[in-house]
Amino acid sequence: MGRLTHLQALEAESIFVLREVAATCEKPVLLYSIGKDSAVLLHLAMKAFAPGKPPFPLLHVDTGWKFREMIAFRDLTAKRLGLDLIVHVNEEGVKAGVNPITSGSAVHTDVMKTQGLKQALDKYGFDAAFGGARRDEETSRAKERIFSLRTPDHRWDPKAQRPEPWRTFNTRKRKGESFRVFPLSNWTEADVWDYIALENIPVVPLYFAKRRPVVERNGALIMRDDDRLPLLPGETPQMRMVRFRTLGCFPLTGAVESTAATLPEIIAEMRASRSSERQGRVIDHDGSSSMELKKQEGYF
C-alpha cells in the first residue's frame, strides 16, 4: 500500500470490496442499520461508484423498536443521497406480539432481526448483502471472511469457510447461495470515528452527549424513547447527560454517562475508555460463543 496513511489504505480496500461485489453479484443490497458503521459504509459506497450512484438499494430490517431519532435520520439520509430504501418488518413477529420487553432480548433479536433479515433477502432475491460488521468487535467476527458464503437457508459454517488469501476473492457461488460481504472488516472503532471526523460524515445525534430521560436497570442506563417501555414500581426517568456508543433497539441499548458533545470529544473519550463498545449491548452477553451461534443461524 506504499505511502498511503492507514485510513487511506483502509478506504481503498473497502472501495475495492464494494466494487468487487457490484461487478460479480447479480443483485446486491446494502444492509443499512443507521449506526456509525453503516454511515461510513454508505459514505464509501458513494465514493466507490462516483460520479454514479451505488448500483444497489439500502435495506433496513426494522424491529419497530429503534430510537425515533434513528428512523428520522434513516429517512433523511436516503433522501439526501437519492438512494432507494427498502424497510422490512417481520409482520409475523409483530402479529405474534414479539417485543424486547416481554419476549426477552434473545427471542426478539432472533425473530425481528435474524428472521426478518432472512425474509427480506428471500423476498427480494438478493444474492449479496453488505454489512458494516468489523472484525475487532468480537472474537468470532475476527475469523469471519470479507466474502462470507451462506447456504440457501442463510447459515454460516465457521469450519467450512473458504480460504481468502490476498484481495483475490473467490466470488463464485451456486444458485440459492449468497454472500454476506463486510467491507469494513479491517476497521476498528477508532478508525471509524477518525474517518467520520476526517470526512465530516453525518451520524445520528444520539452519539453525542445530551440530557436524555433514562432509567437504570441491571447497571445499564436505558433511555425511555417512548412510553412502550413500562416503568417498574418506584422508577422515574431521570434526565441525565448521556450518549450511546452503539445503537440498536432502545430497550436493549445501554447509554453511557458522558459530556462528549462533539466529534473530537467523542474520539478523546473513546481512546481513554476502558470498556468495549459492545458492553452496552444486552444481546451479546449470553456467553463468549453466543455471537458465533447467532451468526451460524443467519444473524449478520
Chain residues 194-213 in contact with other proteins, contact rule CB under 8 A: 194-195, 197-198
- Applying CB under 8 A, among 37, 62, 110, 292 the residue interacting with other proteins is 292
Q: Which residues contact 225 (CB under 8 A, 6 or more apart)?
A: 67, 68, 250
Chain residues 98-127 in contact with other proteins, contact rule CB under 8 A: none
Q: Does 261 bind other proteins (CB under 8 A)?
A: no
In the three-class reduction of DSSP (H, G, I as helix; E, B as strand; rest coil), residue 7 is classed as helix
Q: Does 62 bind other proteins (CB under 8 A)?
A: no
Q: Which stretch binds other proteins (CB under 8 A): 51-59, 74-82, 125-133, 226-234?
A: 51-59
Q: Closest CB to other proteins among 62 and 137?
A: 137
Count, residues near other proteins per rule CB under 8 A: 71
Query: Smallest distance, Å, CB 167 to other proteins?
Result: 8
Q: How many residues does this entry show for the chain?
A: 300
- Applying CB under 8 A, among 135, 212, 224, 294 the residue interacting with other proteins is 135
Query: 203 and 39 in contact (C-beta within 8 Å)?
Result: yes
**Which residues are bridge partners to 58 per DSSP?**
30, 85
Query: Smallest distance, Å, CB 51 to other proteins?
Result: 6
Look up cell 445520528; give the residue: 204
Query: Smallest distance, Å, CB 152 to other proteins?
Result: 10
Q: Closest CB to other proteins among 102 and 170?
A: 170
Grid coordinates standing for 247?
445503537
- CA–CA separation, 248 vs 66, rounded Å? 6
Dihedral of alpha carbons 27, 108, 283, 60, sign: positive
Q: Does 176 bind other proteins (CB under 8 A)?
A: no
Query: 24 and 56 in contact (C-beta within 8 Å)?
Result: no
Q: Does 72 bind other proteins (CB under 8 A)?
A: no
- CA–CA separation, 205 vs 293, rounded Å? 32
The dihedral region occupied by 290, where left means phi > 0, alpha psi between -120 and 50, and beta the remainder, is alpha
Q: Does 220 bind other proteins (CB under 8 A)?
A: no
- CA–CA separation, 134 vs 278, rounded Å? 12
- CA–CA separation, 70 vs 221, rounded Å? 18
Q: Does 259 bind other proteins (CB under 8 A)?
A: no
Chain residues 138-167 in contact with other proteins, contact rule CB under 8 A: 138-143, 158-159, 161-167
Q: Does 95 bind other proteins (CB under 8 A)?
A: no
- Applying CB under 8 A, among 26, 80, 168, 236 the residue interacting with other proteins is 168
Q: Does 234 bind other proteins (CB under 8 A)?
A: no
- CA–CA separation, 42 vs 183, rounded Å? 11
Query: Smallest distance, Å, CB 177 to other proteins?
Result: 8
Query: Smallest distance, Å, CB 238 to other proteins?
Result: 24
Q: Which stretch binds other proteins (CB under 8 A): 83-91, 105-113, 116-124, 134-142?
A: 134-142
Torsion of CA 69, 70, 76, 81, to 10 degrees: 150
